[in-house]
Amino acid sequence: MFEKLLAKAKIARKNAYSPFSRFQVGASILTSNNNYYVGSSIENPSFSQTLCAEASAIAAMVTAGERKIKTILVVGGDDNGVLRSCPNFAHSLLGKWFANVFYILPDFFKRN
């Protein structure tokens, strides 16, 4: 399960739209029905209107008619990047869609 979530999040990260920060983020979700959904960060010049990868993945899940998350895995940045939770996701969405959240740096498996 973890490896599949990681692979899907990495693909989603490659599809991120981040022309301003150049910090690409991808997320993958595993639902209680054992379905996977992915999302990518989508930047806006104002940054306050940027859609984080977690919210993008949740939007895909909700659009498909699902509501219960088991796990979210998020990858971001380059090999030297540091990843923090999106504030909008952490404070508003996580409470609504409770899940186990894993944040992974892209080089995590190279070092361990």
CA distance 9 to 92: 21
pLDDT in tens, the chain (112 residues): 888 998 999 899 999 999 998 888 998 999 989 999 999 999 988 767 888 898 899 899 999 999 888 888 888 876 544 466 676 666 555 566 665 666 655 555 444 4
Tokens matching residue 92: 């508003």
**Phi, psi angles (nearest 5°) of residue 2:** -60, -45
54 is catalytic: yes
> Domain extents for the chain?
2-111
What is the pTM assigned to this prediction?
0.79
The domain 2-111: what is its CATH number? 3.40.140.10
Tokens matching residue 77: 């940045």
